[in-house]
Amino acid sequence: MSSKRKIIWQLRIVIIIMMLNVACKKDNEVIVPPSIMIMNEQGYISSDTSIAPGSEIRLKVMMQKGDLNITNFLIDVYTDEMQHYFDTGMNVSYLEWQGIFIKTSAAIEEWKFIVRDRDGNSSSTSLMISLDTSGSYQPLQYYSPVLLGAQDNEQEGGCFNISDSSMHFHVQVAEDTALQSGIDLIYYYSPEDENTIASPGANIEDDIFTVNPANWTIKNTSRYIKISITPQEFLESMNDSIIIANYDEGEAKRKAKKLKKDDIYTFRTQDGRLGMFLVNEVSGTTDGSINISLKTQP
């Protein structure tokens, strides 16, 4: 064999050895996935526990990148079946998430938190929240009729404080932070959403009120979800079990839109009070009114 051919063969052998070394390194390489941890802080649930139905579930989760940035954070909740409660994308090295939910009447809820990077490497953590049945369901307070006026109605106010069952005109509340602190419900009419019950923190359109509640000093937010019970079931309900069974924080919205007779919504106020209302009658538009029956936790 000539010296030239010998050198070529030696080079080929060296290249093959180098390729094998690289392949071995890749096979043996340890990929560090993102990390995730449920935070143990006062007021937040961080381990398996039991709580009463309708109680707040406060959770805080911390995530840190491994070799690659965090691109996905998911929350799955398992009761009788699995639900995707939360699924969002990003591209960050660190993430701290916190949320407030309501304990359902399910005997056991398993909350699973999952973090992933762009290559699909993932980590997860979970906790179990069981139902504390030692306490009874709360009796409901009943308000009926509750007559709310739309933005141009000069006879009935459209801002309602559940705690003291007081009604106020929007122009009064806009100038008084003491009144603002207690407003849970606001009624108005808009061409797009028609007859609507919302709250100060609901991103109400600019052309509805003289002073948009988004510009108030205190902006409480209530969240609503339409439910499929009958008016008779509403009227016969005596405790908050029916509200707890029909309120889903993950599905709730900041506005109850296009309201009509016999619509029923459950809701949760800024301070955590659960309630529901039944629409008895709707009349007019911007100078009109809505008549509802209201039931809430004490």
Residue 167 shares a structural domain with residue 261 = yes
Nearest one of 64, 65, 59 to 38, comparing CA atoms: 59
Mean pLDDT of 182-203: 97
Is the pLDDT confidence value at 35 over 50? yes
Q: Greater confidence, 20 or 230? A: 230
Residue 29 lies in a domain: no
Residue 190 lies in a domain: yes
* pTM for the predicted model, two decimal places: 0.77
Residue 17 lies in a domain: no
Residue 146 shares a structural domain with residue 119 = no
pLDDT for the residue 212 = 97
pLDDT for the residue 14 = 46
Q: Provide the percentage of residues in the chain whose pLDDT is more than 90.
A: 79
> Are the C-beta atoms of 279 and 263 separated by less than 8 Å?
yes
Single residue among 81, 109, 131 that ends a domain in this structure: 131
Judged on CB neighbours under 10 Å (0-12, 13-18, 19+), 229 is middle
Q: Does the CA dihedral 244-245-249-251 come out positive or negative?
A: negative
**Half-sphere exposure at residue 106, Cβ-oriented, CA atoms within 13 angstroms:** 18
Mean pLDDT of 59-74: 96
Residue 280 shares a structural domain with residue 177 = yes
> What CATH number has the domain bearing residue 74?
2.60.40.2550
Residue 10 lies in a domain: no
Residue 1 lies in a domain: no
What DSSP string runs through 270-281?
TTS-EEEEEEEE
In sequence order, the 6+-apart residues with CB closer than 8 A to the CB of 248 are: 104, 225
* Residues paired with 139 in a beta bridge: 239
Single residue among 76, 97, 131 that ends a domain in this structure: 131
Mean pLDDT of 261-278: 96
Single residue among 91, 109, 131 that ends a domain in this structure: 131
What is the rounded distance in angstroms from the CA atom of residue 76 to the CA atom of residue 224? Answer: 22
Residue 150 shares a structural domain with residue 120 = no
Residue 9 lies in a domain: no
Residue 81 lies in a domain: yes
Mean pLDDT of 134-154: 93
Domain ranges, residue 61:
35-131
pLDDT for the residue 292 = 98
For the chain, what is the domain count?
A: 2
pLDDT for the residue 259 = 98
pLDDT for the residue 124 = 97
The pLDDT tens digits for 280-293 are 999 999 999 999 99
Residue 63 shares a structural domain with residue 98 = yes
pLDDT for the residue 1 = 53
Residue 115 shares a structural domain with residue 202 = no
User: Vertex 198, ends 159 and 196: CA angle to 5°?
Assistant: 95
Residue 103 lies in a domain: yes
